[in-house]
């Protein structure tokens, strides 16, 4: 199976690990100073893409110019190779309902995908809930292009979720089958996971889900804090693994539910 990164940190390449030939072209539009800043923050500066909001790193994490200028204290607790990790900032003001909306530029079938994502989170009985609206949402799923499936960012210091999930529908595809809806909902849920403060389950070594050599994503200024009660051994089914295979469905597994409950129940 060809694993492709979802978002948040990795090379979410449309053709998995085959897009190596584009590395030089992508980095050519990003200055050496910016690449050095990204590296100093603890993120990989390979395959960095310039986007409207700033820079896309590690496949699906958006760093704004403000992020690059931030020099917060790095918080990282590194206990094992595969655990659940969260960022320093979390969503506050709980209980809190987060509204979500989908751009009209995305396929109409994605409405069912968003509904499935909402259902998955709301079924957990968290103090964060989600409601789909037609406009004016807290988090908007917007159309995007590029060499990734989707991308998003992390909560801000004021406790608000990241406001945008950029979706590359050409890479994800479209459809109305249960298989497709579950696959795309896994991608949507993963990106929202970043928006509310989750990092990749295989943060310590993204090669676990993406293949290739050992790759630690780095704590950066956003933090990588282990969530108590999550496993210290490999977790193959987590919704927050860095990469995903085509048509794979990853509903919340037992440790995902532990992590969600610890932060938001």
**Is the pLDDT confidence value at 213 over 50?**
no
pLDDT at 234: 56
pLDDT at 240: 87
Lowest mean per-residue pLDDT among 53-57, 71-75, 173-177, 245-249: 71-75
Assigned token pair, 157: 């210091």
Q: Going edge to edge, which strands form the sheet with 96-102?
A: 128-132, 96-102, 139-143, 164-167, 150-151
Task: Classify 3 as helix, strand or coil.
Answer: strand
Find which of 95-109, 199-213, 223-237 is predicted with most confidence, using mean pLDDT.
Answer: 95-109
Between helix 178-195 and helix 110-122 the angle, nearest 10°, is 60
Domains, the chain, with CATH or none: 3-264 (3.40.390.10)
Task: Give the CA angle between residues 92, 95, 100 to the nearest 5°.
Answer: 80
For residue range 129-183, list pLDDT tens digits in order: 999 999 999 999 999 987 789 999 999 999 999 999 999 999 999 999 999 999 9
pLDDT at 80: 35
What does pLDDT average to over the chain?
A: 78
DSSP 8-class letter at 143:
E
Cis peptide bond prior to 166, omega within 30° of 0: no
Spatial contact of 119 and 186, defined as CB atoms under 8 Å apart: no
Q: Is the dihedral of CA 13, 17, 19, 25 positive or negative?
A: positive
User: Which pLDDT band, with edges at 50, 70 and 90, does 212 fall under?
Assistant: low
Q: What's the full length of the chain, in residues?
A: 265
For residue range 74-112, list pLDDT tens digits in order: 333 233 344 566 667 899 999 999 999 999 999 999 999
């Amino acid at each position: 199976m060809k694993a492709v990164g979802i978002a948040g940190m990795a090379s979410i390449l449309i053709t998995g690990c085959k897009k190596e030939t584009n590395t030089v072209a992508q980095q050519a539009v990003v200055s050496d100073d910016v690449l050095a800043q990204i590296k100093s923050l603890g993120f990989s500066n390979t395959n960095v893409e310039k986007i409207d909001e700033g820079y896309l790193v590690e496949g699906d994490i958006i760093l704004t110019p403000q992020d690059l200028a931030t020099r917060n204290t790095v918080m990282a607790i590194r206990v094992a190779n595969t655990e659940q990790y969260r960022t320093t900032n979390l969503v506050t003001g709980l209980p809190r309902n987060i509204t979500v909306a989908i751009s009209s530029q995305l396929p109409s079938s994605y409405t069912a995908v968003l509904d499935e994502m909402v259902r998955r989170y709301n079924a957990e009985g968290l103090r964060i809930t989600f409601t789909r609206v037609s406009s004016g949402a807290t988090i908007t799923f917007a159309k995007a292009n590029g060499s990734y499936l989707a991308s998003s960012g992390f909560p801000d210091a004021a406790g608000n979720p990241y406001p945008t999930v950029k979706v590359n529908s050409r890479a994800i595809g479209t459809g109305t089958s249960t298989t497709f809806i579950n696959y795309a909902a896994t991608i949507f849920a993963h990106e929202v996971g970043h928006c509310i403060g989750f990092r990749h389950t295989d943060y310590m070594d993204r090669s676990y889900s993406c293949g290739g050599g050992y790759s630690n994503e780095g704590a950066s200024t956003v933090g990588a804090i282990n969530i108590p009660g999550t496993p210290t051994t490999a977790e193959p089914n987590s919704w927050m693994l860095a990469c995903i295979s085509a048509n794979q469905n990853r509903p919340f597994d037992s440790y995902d539910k532990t992590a969600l409950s610890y932060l938001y129940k």
